[in-house]
Amino acid sequence: MILRLVELPIEGSSMENMEKFSEAAVMPPVPDIAVLPELFSTGYVLSRIHDLALSPDDLPELPPAKVADRENIWIVAGSLPVMSPDGVVNKMVVYNPDGEIAYTTEKVHLFSEMGEDRAFVQGRCGGTFDLSGKTAGGIICYDLRFPELTRRMTLGGASIIFVPSQWPSGRRELFRSLLRARAAESQIFVAGCNIGGEHLGVIFKGGGGVAHPTGNMLKGSIISDGITDFEIDLSDVDQVRTHIDCLSDLRPDEYGSIQSVKETP
């Protein structure tokens, strides 16, 4: 399977960005699956998120859906601001090769340091989905710092987790370290896609990658500036676990409730 990360800058209108990222996803050679960054159509213009938010009814007709259908590929369409009954959620949308919505999930943890909680409401995890006979899942940017979500999807059978992000270049090594950590601790693939260039005065310049179930970062093939392809074999998950199977050694009885456990002085 060829997995592509599309790490372009956010420039122009929402529709212009959607079309640019979607066409980059299928630049020859066309991959099997393409991953776009977090909020790739709008960026973090938090003061305008409510006005830019999409209706759930808009999602089936967006450019990524049409391109996925046209080119017969999977597109993990990063995340988008979408209206919900409680407010705007930061929602990941995955389109299958027929251009249909195969999966959605929402950003669970909001980064209050930058005021994200004033523009969005907390989302709900969408669990896992079927990816051409394998199980996959998704988390969004800051969710990467919370291993409980990745472990939940791993126990649900996920072989790969997609992580659309907007992670500043100054914390790039942390971003890649967390991708490796989530992959190694659950022995799965973890694919993180970051935005390129600069946005609202912050330098990003891509820097995402794909972590193998061993915890090593895979080497990609640069197709064009900001577009990188990775060859992955999801059967590696089972192969790695034949040597060391961390999940078989879990001790949930010792973990207790994260909220209530206190160490005895």
Of these residues, 19, 20, 116, 141, which one is catalytic? 141
Q: Structure tokens of 116?
A: 């994200």
**Do 68 and 35 meet the contact criterion of CB atoms below 8 Å apart?**
no
Cα dihedral: 136, 7, 140, 97 (round 10): -40
Q: Is 107 a catalytic residue?
A: yes
40 near 194, Cβ under 8 Å? no
Helices 172-186/147-155 angle, 10° precision: 30
Give the active site residue among 7, 20, 91, 107. 107
Which residues fall within 8 angstroms of residue 65, CB to CB, at 6 or more apart?
59, 75, 77, 95, 99, 100, 101
Q: Which of the residues 7, 19, 38, 106 is marked catalytic?
A: 38
| Helix boundaries (H) for 135-171 | 147-155
Identify the H or E element spanning 183: helix 172-186
Q: Active-site residue 141, yes or no?
A: yes
Report the chain's C-alpha Rg in angstroms. 18
Is 38 an active-site residue?
yes
CA angle in degrees (0–180, nearest 5) for 186-136-248: 30
The b-or-e profile of 53-86 (16+ CB within 10 A means b, else e) is: bbeeeebeebbbbbbbbebebbbbbbbbbbbeee
Give me the active site residues, please: 38, 107, 141
